[in-house]
Structure 1
Amino acid sequence: SSGDNEDRPSIGYLYEAMDKAKEAIQGNLKGKKKFYMPIWKMIDKRWRQLE
C-alpha cells in the first residue's frame, strides 16, 4: 500500500547516508586504503544485495 512507502526512507537518502558513513570510516582510518577498503567492500557487497 502507499502507506508503506511513506514509512521508508528513499533509496537516495539511504545511499547518501551510506556514502557519508564510508567517508567517516575512511577518515577514522587516516585514509589508509589497506584498512578502509575491506570495510568499503563489505558495505558495497551488502548494498548490491539490496538492489
Structure 2
Amino acid sequence: MSSEDLKELDEKLIEMNRDIIRLTDTIINSIEPRLERLERNVQPAISYMS
C-alpha cells in the first residue's frame, strides 16, 4: 500500500467514525426520553412496594 492509499483509507475511517458517532447520538436521543418516561411510570410502583 502506498502512502496515498493509506491516507485515503485513513480519511474513510475517520468519516465512518463520524457516522457512527452521529448514529449513536441519534439512538441515545431517541431512547433517553423513553427511559425518563418509564422511570416516572415505574417509580410509584417501586415506592408502593418498599
TM-score class, shorter: 0.3 to 0.5
**Structure with greater proportional helix content:** 2
- TM-score w.r.t. the length of structure 1 is 0.43
Task: Please identify the structure whose Cα radius of gyration is greater.
Answer: 2
Of structures 1 and 2, the one with the larger relative CO (CA 8 A, separation 6+) is: 1
- TM-score w.r.t. the length of structure 2 is 0.44
